[in-house]
Amino acid sequence: MKNPMDSLTQTVVLGFVLTVIMVLVIHAIAA
């Protein structure tokens, strides 16, 4: 399996996916 970090596009997409997870964590902490 190729490392997703070898693709710039996949790197950026993973960055946005992580952001969504981060938003959920922030809401869970503040709830």
Distance CA 13, CA 16 (A): 5
Minimum separation from the CB atom of position 16 to other proteins (A): 6
Judged by CB under 8 A, does residue 24 bind other proteins? no
**Buried b / exposed e along 3-31 (16+ C-beta atoms within 10 A):** eeeeeeeeeeeeeeeeeeeeeeeeeeeee
Judged by CB under 8 A, does residue 2 bind other proteins? no
Residue in 1, 2, 24, 29 binding other proteins, rule: CB under 8 A? 29
Minimum separation from the CB atom of position 1 to other proteins (A): 15
